[in-house]
Amino acid sequence: MITTTFKRYEKKYQLDAVQYQNILPILLAEMKPDTYTSKNDSYMIYNIYYDTQHYDVIRHSLSKPYYKEKLRLRSYTIPETLEERVFLELKKKIGGIVNKRRASLRLNDAYNFVSKREYPDGLKQSEVQVLKEIEYFLENRSIEAKAYISYQRTAYVGKNDPNLRVTFDCNIKSRQTQLFLEKGDFGDFVLPPNQYVMEIKILGAMPLWLARALSELKIYSSSFSKYGKTYQEYLSRAE
In a structure prediction context, what are the per-residue pLDDT tens digits for the chain, which is 239 residues long? 555 556 689 999 999 999 999 999 999 999 999 988 877 789 999 999 999 999 999 999 999 999 999 999 999 999 999 999 999 999 999 988 899 999 999 999 999 999 999 999 888 888 899 999 999 999 989 999 999 999 999 999 999 999 999 999 999 999 999 999 999 999 999 999 899 999 999 988 899 999 999 999 999 999 899 999 999 998 988 76
Residue type, 104: S
What does the pLDDT read at residue 236?
Answer: 87
List CB contacts of 152: < 8 A, sequence separation 6 or more.
42, 43, 44, 169, 170, 171
What does the pLDDT read at residue 39?
Answer: 77
- Distances in Å between the Cα of 59 and the Cα atoms of 56, 109, 151, 227, 228 are 5, 28, 22, 10, 8
The phi, psi pair for 5, rounded to 5°, reads -125, 130
Determine whether 36 is exposed, middle or buried from the number of CB atoms within 10 Å of its CB (0-12, 13-18, 19+): middle
Which one, of 74, 54, 79, lies nearest residue 6 by Cα? 74
C-alpha 94/C-alpha 92 separation (Å) is: 7
CATH number of the CATH domain containing 211: 3.20.100.30
What does the pLDDT read at residue 238?
Answer: 76
Length of the chain: 239
Residue type, 156: Y
C-alpha 100/C-alpha 122 separation (Å) is: 23
Q: How many domains does the chain have?
A: 1
Residue 199 sits at the vertex; the CA angle it makes with 217 and 41, to the nearest 5 degrees, is 95
C-alpha 77/C-alpha 168 separation (Å) is: 18
Which one, of 204, 228, 181, 186, lies nearest residue 79 by Cα? 181
* Domain of residue 214, residue span: 3-238
